[in-house]
Amino acid sequence: MNDFIKSHGLGNDYIVLDSKKINFKLSKKNIARICHRNYGVGSDGILLLVESKKANFGLRIFNPDGSEAEKSGNGLRIFSKFLYDYKYTKKKKFTIQTKGGLVESEVILKDNKASVVKIAMGKATFDSSKIPVKSKKKYLVQEQIKVKDQTFIYTSVSVGNPHCVIFLNKISNNYPIKYGEAIEKHRLFPKKTNVQFAQVLSKNKVRIEIWERGAGYTLASGSSSCAVVSAGLKLGLLGNKVKVLMPGGSLSIEIDKDYNITMKGPVEQICSGKLIF
């Protein structure tokens, strides 16, 4: 009982649990304990396998603070590897239901293990009511937001979870570390928001720094990559096939004219073990 797998996608690490194989409640206190870097296993979140009536598998995603996320790109790749490697499925293509919608996953093998995963992430939306954002405007594209000593121009978008994308001429990790939490918890965002600072290098290449809702500064994020490319396409800054560079590594994002997004990237298992409660 209480078996866990820990894997990472570009340094963004998650613990995977099967709801049928744990004998404790995933309370906020227990989630925080498990995710703690000093007193627990340590991770950017927990992925919980649950049953689904709409897809092959169901997934719940918990942040280290105990809050629940709608979707995670790196989490979905990690979860897909877990499902295939631990023989929950023999198929290389399958569907996963998240709170942020249903996605399609395809595993690419190396030495008979899933090493790269391709996810059809769904469709991006800029509709303020669906993100959600507190505004009378239907779309918040190139709008101003003031936090601390700075005013930024941002675009709000959802890829199943909320994002605030800020394009700058030059970025560093100072931006998310200094301003990320204030933007995440800004009154504009009733369910809080993920935050990305992005620097366009070319039509098919962008560099980003990330503040993840409920987790903080993050080395990489799949949904953040999708959000930045969606906003970049909307603004005419990026094309349909984009390489997203992050401190933890890079992802390949494809997006069509209707803002349907496909993400492709690596995943690697770190360790496995048993949780003691």
Residue located via tokens 């603070």? 65
pLDDT value, residue 39:
93
Looking at the structure, tell me whether residues 35 and 102 fall in a common domain: yes
Looking at the structure, tell me whether residues 152 and 96 fall in a common domain: no
Looking at the structure, tell me whether residues 111 and 160 fall in a common domain: no
Looking at the structure, tell me whether residues 269 and 210 fall in a common domain: no
Mean pLDDT to the nearest integer, 99-122: 96
Mean pLDDT to the nearest integer, 89-100: 97
Looking at the structure, tell me whether residues 177 and 229 fall in a common domain: yes
* 46 contact partners, CB below 8 Å, separation of at least 6: 14, 15, 16, 17, 26, 31, 34, 35, 61, 62
Is residue 131 domain-resident? no
pLDDT value, residue 160:
94
Is residue 130 domain-resident? no
Looking at the structure, tell me whether residues 56 and 101 fall in a common domain: yes
Is residue 126 domain-resident? no
Looking at the structure, tell me whether residues 252 and 269 fall in a common domain: no
Is residue 136 domain-resident? no
Looking at the structure, tell me whether residues 149 and 232 fall in a common domain: yes
Looking at the structure, tell me whether residues 192 and 113 fall in a common domain: no
Confidence of residue 277 (pLDDT cuts 50, 70, 90): confident
CATH number of the domain within which 236 lies: 3.10.310.10
Is the pLDDT assigned to residue 1 strictly greater than 80? Answer: no
Is the pLDDT assigned to residue 276 strictly greater than 90? Answer: no
Mean pLDDT to the nearest integer, 182-204: 97
Is residue 127 domain-resident? no
Mean pLDDT to the nearest integer, 24-43: 95
Confidence of residue 269 (pLDDT cuts 50, 70, 90): very high
DSSP letters, 172-241, are: -THHHHHHHHHHHT-TT-TT--EEEEEEEEETTEEEEEEEETTTEEES--HHHHHHHHHHHHHTTSS-SE
Is residue 134 domain-resident? no
- N- to C-terminal Cα distance for the chain? 11
Mean pLDDT to the nearest integer, 177-193: 97
Is the pLDDT assigned to residue 32 strictly greater than 80? Answer: yes
* Segments forming the whole domain that contains residue 159: 143-258
Overall number of domains in the chain: 2
Is the pLDDT assigned to residue 154 strictly greater than 80? Answer: yes
Confidence of residue 71 (pLDDT cuts 50, 70, 90): very high
pLDDT value, residue 88:
98
- The residues that bridge with 62 in the sheet, in sequence order, are 46, 68
Percent of the chain with pLDDT over 70: 100
Look over the chain and give the mean of its residue pLDDT values, rounded to a whole number: 96
Mean pLDDT to the nearest integer, 107-127: 96
Give 38-44's long-range contacts (Cβ < 8 A, gap of 24+).
Answer: 41/4, 41/6, 41/15, 41/273, 41/275, 42/13, 43/6, 43/13, 43/14, 43/15, 44/12, 44/13, 44/14, 44/212, 44/215, 44/218
Looking at the structure, tell me whether residues 24 and 91 fall in a common domain: yes
pLDDT value, residue 265:
97
Mean pLDDT to the nearest integer, 104-112: 96
Looking at the structure, tell me whether residues 15 and 68 fall in a common domain: yes
Looking at the structure, tell me whether residues 110 and 170 fall in a common domain: no
Global pTM reads 0.92
